[in-house]
Amino acid sequence: QVQLVESGGGLVQAGDSLRLSCAASGRTFSDYSMAWFRQAPGKEREFVAAHTWRLKNTYYADSVKGRFTISRDNAKNTVSLQMNSLKPEDTAVYYCAASKRYYFSHYSRDYDSWGQGTQVTVSS
């Protein structure tokens, strides 16, 4: 497994941008598909974005498509989530996750390693 540590969360206003980062250690980072999930108070954890390691494809939830961008730097063992045009409904704890699977999955159960989460709060 890899160890994951997120950073970059904070309090912003609607329409602002924020960039989350996730630093990985412990295993060969390039062999993992990476994803971001989020969990708002009282709600289930939901998929946000993913990047698969073999085909290097990216996937997004419909709610963030066109606003969020996932990227990874295998040389630095990091994955980032650029969030633009933030909305109050984007408020949640954001989690970085890693999976050995080469195919895309939006199910949290398919991810083997998780970070501790970073809070993103968007005020209206």
Cβ neighbors of 55 (< 8 A, separation 6 or more) are 102
Tens digit of pLDDT for each residue in 9-35?
999 999 999 999 999 997 788 889 999
Which two three-digit tokens encode residue 62? 């419909």
Tens digit of pLDDT for each residue in 48-105?
999 998 888 999 999 999 999 999 999 999 999 999 999 999 999 999 999 999 889 9
Q: Give, as one character, the DSSP assignment of residue 81.
A: E
Cβ neighbors of 1 (< 8 A, separation 6 or more) are 26, 27, 98, 112, 113
